[in-house]
Amino acid sequence: LNRAFLADLQSAPAVFWRRIRLLAARELLASRRRSVTEIAYETGFSDTAHFCSSFKKHFSMTPKQFRRIGK
């Protein structure tokens, strides 16, 4: 199953689902006034620190920076 996933989507299932969760978090950050912690938990991250580091790695900015510049 993992090989099929890699062949079709060029990423491991865990990487794919993390990307989906981060994209959902980005939408929530842009459209709602929930806290970063609430958004982290709502998108399936078990703690805010892991969410923030994953977000920064994927988008090259922290969730608060993203919210501040209004993207």
Domain ranges for the chain: 2-69
Output the CA torsion sign for 60, 66, 68, 71.
positive
pLDDT of residue 2: 74
Of 4-13, 18-27, 57-66, the poorest mean pLDDT is in: 4-13
Report how far residue 57's alpha carbon sits from residue 54's, in angstroms, rounded to the nearest whole number: 5
Does residue 71 have a pLDDT over 70? no
pTM of the predicted model, to two decimals? 0.83
- Closest C-alpha to 58, from 6, 19, 24: 19
Q: Which amino acid is at 34?
A: R
**pLDDT, tens digit (0-9, with 9 covering 90-100), for 13-52:** 888 899 999 999 999 999 878 999 999 999 999 999 999 9
Cβ atoms of 21 and 44 closer than 8 Å: yes
- Closest C-alpha to 54, from 24, 32, 11: 24
Q: List the CATH code of the domain at 2-69.
A: 1.10.10.60
